């Protein structure tokens, strides 16, 4: 799922192309992508994009007079920019938006249609999409500390909870925790002040560094390869590969459709965190530390 750095770069690329430009036509190729009925989507045609913004992992298009289009890309949704007349990926295209400079496509790979459009009128209706997450890039250390201790969860769950923090998902939470040298299963209620300061700094530095990196890679173009698995990540998606800091093999915990990647040497003092399925299967044969599998 696109997270804060990816959403930021999407918005910047869109601003260069459609800010102040009229939306000439909207085409919905999937009847399920639009989740609202009123106001009608045709109301957008002829209106200029007044502003774009991020709402957690959503992108907000402001068409003036408190008319907002809110897009949630979910896991497999992506934006593509094509020239007029160019043939887009028809099978996976959910919607198309025609502007003077080109055509913006909303696509979604796979068969699960989770990406969504909501057209809402009024500031109150827009607030329904605010999850309340704290923006770690502008929050003070005190605000961050209060938020991290507001509920007692594992660090991994806390960082990815949109009610607690804005725009952080599975990929960048792994990178943040590795940078902070903290276990993903440490409990927020037991985290000392110094560790919280370290975590806050790791959040800011990791998200800022990746945003800058993606900005350089994109340049004046449009972000084409938006993925949760990027070359240069320390641990996310790198199970079994060497940690860039200590060269120990990156470990993982699997749960549902997700997994957490971490370095046992850097983050858990060499202890292996129990993978629920495998540890239950192996029982006493489950290794407790890196030394047992070396």
pLDDT at 275: 67
Say if 8 falls within a structural domain: yes
pLDDT value of position 161: 97
Contact assessment for residue 54 and residue 73, using Cβ atoms and an 8 Å cutoff: no
> Which residue, 127, 154, 171, sits at the end of a domain?
127
Q: How many domains does the chain have?
A: 2
How confident is the prediction for the chain on average, in pLDDT?
92
The pTM for the full model equals: 0.92
Specify whether 89 is located in the same domain as 207.
no
Length of the chain: 294
Contact between 286 and 207 under an 8 Å Cβ cutoff? The reply is: no
CA distance 70 to 60: 5
Same domain, residue pair 189 and 85 = no
- Alpha-carbon span 104 to 82, nearest angstrom: 7
CATH number of residue 88's parent domain: 3.20.190.10
Helix axes 193-218, 4-18, angle to 10 degrees: 40
Start-to-end C-alpha separation, the chain: 34
The answer to whether residues 29 and 53 belong to one domain is yes
| Interior/surface letters 34-71, b for 16+ CB within 10 angstroms, e for the rest | bebeeeebeebeebebeebebbbbbbbbbbeeebbbbb
Cα 73–Cα 162–Cα 171 angle in degrees, nearest 5: 65
113: confidence class by pLDDT, cuts 50, 70, 90: confident
What the block records as the tokens of 153 is: 């969860």
Q: Please write the tens of the pLDDT for every residue from 175-211.
A: 999 999 999 999 999 999 999 999 999 999 999 999 9
Domain boundary among 104, 127, 150: 127
| 136 inside domain | no
Residue 221: CATH number of its domain: 1.10.8.50
- Residue 237 DSSP SS3: coil
Q: Which domain holds residue 10?
A: 4-127
Instruction: For residue 281, name the pLDDT band (cuts at 50, 70, 90).
Output: very low
132 domain-assigned: no
Statement to judge: residues 152 and 275 lie in one domain: yes
pLDDT(290) > 80: no
Give the domain-ending residue among 94, 127, 160. 127
């Amino acid at each position: 799922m696109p997270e804060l750095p990816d959403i930021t770069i999407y918005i910047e690329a869109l601003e260069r192309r459609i800010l102040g430009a009229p939306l000439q036509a909207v085409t919905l190729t999937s009847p399920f992508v639009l989740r609202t009925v009123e106001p009608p989507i045709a109301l957008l045609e002829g209106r200029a994009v007044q502003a774009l913004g991020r709402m957690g992992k959503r992108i907000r298009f402001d068409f003036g007079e408190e008319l907002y289009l809110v897009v949630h890309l979910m896991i497999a949704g992506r934006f593509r920019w094509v020239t007029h007349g160019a043939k887009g990926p028809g099978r996976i295209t959910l919607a198309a938006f025609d502007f003077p400079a080109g055509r913006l496509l909303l696509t979604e790979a796979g068969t699960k249609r989770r990406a969504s459009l909501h057209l809402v009128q009024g500031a109150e209706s827009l607030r329904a999409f605010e999850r309340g997450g704290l923006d770690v890039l502008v929050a003070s250390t005190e605000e961050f500390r209060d938020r991290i201790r507001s509920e007692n969860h594992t660090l991994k769950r806390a960082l990815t909870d949109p009610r607690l923090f804005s725009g952080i998902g599975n990929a960048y939470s792994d990178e943040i925790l590795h940078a902070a040298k903290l276990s993903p299963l440490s409990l927020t209620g037991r985290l000392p002040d110094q560790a919280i300061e370290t975590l806050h700094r790791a959040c800011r530095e990791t998200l800022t560094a990746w945003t800058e990196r993606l900005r350089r890679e994109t340049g004046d173009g449009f972000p084409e390869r938006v993925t949760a698995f990027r070359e240069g990540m320390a641990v996310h998606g790198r199970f079994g590969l060497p940690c860039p800091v200590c060269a120990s093999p990156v470990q993982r915990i699997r749960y549902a459709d997700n997994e957490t990647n971490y370095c046992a040497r850097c983050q858990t003092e060499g202890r292996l965190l129990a993978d629920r399925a495998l540890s239950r299967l192996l029982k006493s044969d489950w290794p407790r530390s890196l030394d047992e599998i070396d």
